A and B are shown apart, each in its own frame.
Chain A
Amino acid sequence: MVAPFALTLQQSNAERIYCLNAMAEEQGVQRGMGLADARALCPDLQTMPANQEADNQFLHLLARWAGRFCPWVGLEGPDGLVLDVTGSTHLFGGEQALLETLDERLGRAGLSAQLALADTRGAAWALAHYGAWQPGSVSPAENKGGGVAQGGRDLSSQLAPRGKSLEVLGALPVAALRLDEKICTGLLRLGVRTIEALYALPRATLTRRFGLEPLMRLDQALGHREEAISPLSEAPHYGVRMSLPDPIGLADDVMAVTGKLLDRLCDKLDREGCGARILQLTMRRLDQAASQVELRLARPMREACRILPLFERGVGEVDAGFGIDMVRLEAVAVEPMVDEQMTSIVLGGATGSKERGGPLAAGMSESRSLDDLITRLGSRIGLENVFRFIPADSHIPERSFSLQPAAWSAPVGLWPGAGGTEGSEVSRGSENVGMGPPRPVRLFPPEAIVLPLSCELDMDRREPPEHFRWRRMQLSVARARGPERIAPEWWWEDPLWRSGIRDYWWVETRQGWRLWLFHTPQNRLAHLSSWFVQGEFA
């Protein structure tokens, strides 16, 4: 803390202070203050925009860590944790020692936290938020942001001894009861400043005036009414293991064990509505060495009978050594997966005939076997090497399609212009004929052609030359169609297209080759070769 620092958040059209450090607080900056006001108070205030999502993630991380102190950890607002330590304090040497341990560990991690421990959740909340409050200080909110003094802090004031909540809480302001701003103001107007004073009021009149809330909160804080802590649910763990009494070494045995593990894992996945994307099979050998087989699936899957054969290749390559005595299977990456209608697939798959399951089932089992194939190929050469063509909207030939990994993309319904596949009469008529200029079946990086000298000298010539040499072949042009001018896309920096516009020609040679030539007239001025071949037609 070398300089005043604060995090800001855009709230109702104004930058407001969201969180700040002790030094900024000393200079009079407060939470919720406008950034402009804060700058006026404290000219050297450093600020950064707050990232609430990351804060929330960090809080969950902290909640997981807090599980070491007790099993019952819940969230308290956007910036607090609540732990039910009943029955687990003795493990850390008592309540006071537990608080000290927590404080020390959080401090080591660079976190300043307000800690309190009490009989009830309400009392602990009050102590944590208002425990250090002095009646003379400017505002109770001042202490909220975590201005913890460095070093030797007395935590005993933050600890409410058993059954003495009222004595500890009595002097705190009524706001410590988690009451509404409105009720607090009302109580303050009546001169009820502290919890003690509130407790002394007759209950009936209080309810008549302020409703049920103040008494409910008071009862919760003092333990007359119970309040539960809802712990965060634990993320499901997708790992199963099997220890074997006798080591195994045959691939068939390992596959059998894997099958059993898969059944258990898939049950679990099924319950959670998830499918595995990456599976890791760890085999521990007798000599404690372990070998791993990783299986990356082309689609999230949870059918054991489909996944098992995909493991065959990986398991076959494992060196079993003196034998394997523990097998562990974990789904490292899972994805939510929608339920599919199973009946027709089972029917289509079991009978093995497409007619029985109907066209839908046939199509589905088709795509399933394709997914399995992609997985198999992926386990050999990497899933990122299996591509699907996706059309893209661009005139630049190299960018008029894109290659997407097949495992993470869905096929387009119908390729623009690729009619004919059972297309109706209407689509057939409109597509192929008026499809636009033809494109070569094979594209390669532009290759310069060698022109005869006569063409070289003719500066104004825009048509393709009659004869040229390409790939050490002497070709003569029989027919040429063009030009089709394609301009580079200025919004897309492409070094290949830096030379500017290109005039494309479809050229048929007497030798049979049908080539896609282009001419860059501007290159000629620089005395560079201006004719290139970029593709071959069918």
Chain B
Amino acid sequence: MNDPFASAFPLRAGRAHEVTGQGATAFAAIVCGLGTKADQRPSLWLVEDWRADLINPVGLACFCDPSRLLLVRVPDQKSMLACAEEALRSGAVSCVVTELPRALSFTAGRRLQLAAEEGKSTGILMIGEGMGNNAAESRWHCAPLFSPHLHQIKTVSSLSHSSDSTLQRWQLIKNKSGTLGCWDIIWDAETRRVIVVSEVGERPYSAAQGRGRALCSHVAAE
């Protein structure tokens, strides 16, 4: 398949991936939802227990089924990594999301990678900006995107109900087994799939074009 998004996006199972940016929560929820739907295994979401900003299952309901999601609150990063490794290795869950407040060492990242391979589960590491780890299979930067001309796009206007505009820009800024890319996507809550609206640079509208180009040049530089 020569569509770069299709080769990149349903994330490679049995690997640990990194995601950063404001849209990381939605990205992780989408991966959980698709993973749970594909292999009927629940997902695990790990957070440190001091965090006040919790995921809201009611809001996540349009991305994944919150009843198949387990929330684990851990006291510190060390036990979070231990729990994530245990969960990935067990193979009982399809997806393990970890909200990491601090950067990982290469060893820790590699251990998670091996555990994910063994359990055939997908690991999602939500990291801060610029906190990447070389052991990750891929790294995504997700951010919600504003576009004043959103409804003029044909694909979007056909999805009448998704006027909530879940328009996001997903940039693949590291990929061990493929090329990098940058896509603007919309989540279709009804059919539960990701719709690529257009590739950056080929859009008929000019919203945030300067910014977008800047971001893409950043991608190209990497």
Q: Is the CB of A440 within 8 A of B56?
A: yes
Provide the residues of chain A in CB contact with B55, threshold 8 Å.
441-443
Q: Is the CB of A432 within 8 A of B82?
A: no
Q: Is A514 an interface residue (CB 8 A)?
A: yes
Q: Is A369 an interface residue (CB 8 A)?
A: yes
Q: Is the CB of B59 within 8 A of A441?
A: yes
B36-65 contacts to A (CB < 8 Å): 36-37, 40-42, 49, 52-65
Q: Is A363 an interface residue (CB 8 A)?
A: yes
Q: Is the CB of A538 within 8 A of B161?
A: no
A436-451 contacts to B (CB < 8 Å): 438-445
Q: Is A72 an interface residue (CB 8 A)?
A: no
Q: Is B73 an interface residue (CB 8 A)?
A: yes
Residue of A nearest to B26 (CB): A538
Chain B 98-131, CB-CB to A under 8 Å as 1, else 0, gives 0000000000000000000000000000000000
Residue of B nearest to A376 (CB): B86
Provide the residues of chain B in CB contact with A443, threshold 8 Å.
53-56, 59
Q: Is A400 an interface residue (CB 8 A)?
A: yes
Instruction: Tell me the minimal C-beta distance from A432 to chain B in angstroms.
Output: 5
A422 vs B39: C-alpha distance when bound (angstroms): 12
A391 vs B67: C-alpha distance when bound (angstroms): 9
Provide the residues of chain B in CB contact with A388, threshold 8 Å.
67, 70-71
Provide the residues of chain A in CB contact with B168, threshold 8 Å.
538
* Residue in A372, A439, A512 whose beta carbon sits within 8 Å of that of B90 in the complex: A372
Provide the residues of chain B in CB contact with A513, threshold 8 Å.
22, 144
A385 vs B29: C-alpha distance when bound (angstroms): 21
* Residue in A369, A374, A418 whose beta carbon sits within 8 Å of that of B67 in the complex: A418
Provide the residues of chain B in CB contact with A300, threshold 8 Å.
none
Give the number of chain A interface residues (Cβ < 8 Å): 59
**Residue of A397, A442, A445 ringed by the most chain B CB atoms within 10 A:** A442
Q: Is the CB of B25 within 8 A of A442?
A: yes
* Residue in B69, B86, B145, B190 whose beta carbon sits within 8 Å of that of A512 in the complex: B145
Chain A 376-402, CB-CB to B under 8 Å as 1, else 0, gives 110011000111110100000100110
Q: Is the CB of A389 within 8 A of B59?
A: no
A420-458 contacts to B (CB < 8 Å): 420-422, 428, 432-433, 435, 438-445
Provide the residues of chain B in CB contact with A89, threshold 8 Å.
none
> B residues touching A (Cβ–Cβ < 8 Å)?
22-23, 25-26, 29, 36-37, 40-42, 49, 52-75, 79, 82-83, 86-87, 90-93, 143-146, 148, 161, 164-166, 168, 187, 189-192
> A residues touching B (Cβ–Cβ < 8 Å)?
362-363, 366, 369-370, 372-374, 376-377, 380-381, 385-389, 391, 397, 400-401, 403, 406, 411-418, 420-422, 428, 432-433, 435, 438-445, 478, 506, 508-514, 535-538
A445 vs B187: C-alpha distance when bound (angstroms): 27
Q: Is the CB of A432 within 8 A of B189?
A: yes
Given contacts A418-B61, A439-B58, A366 and B67 within 8 Å (CB-CB) = no
Q: Is the CB of B56 within 8 A of A432?
A: no
Given contacts A366-B41, A441-B59, A538-B144, A373 and B192 within 8 Å (CB-CB) = no
**Residue of A366, A373, A513 ringed by the most chain B CB atoms within 10 A:** A373
Instruction: Tell me the minimal C-beta distance from A31 to chain B in angstroms.
Output: 56
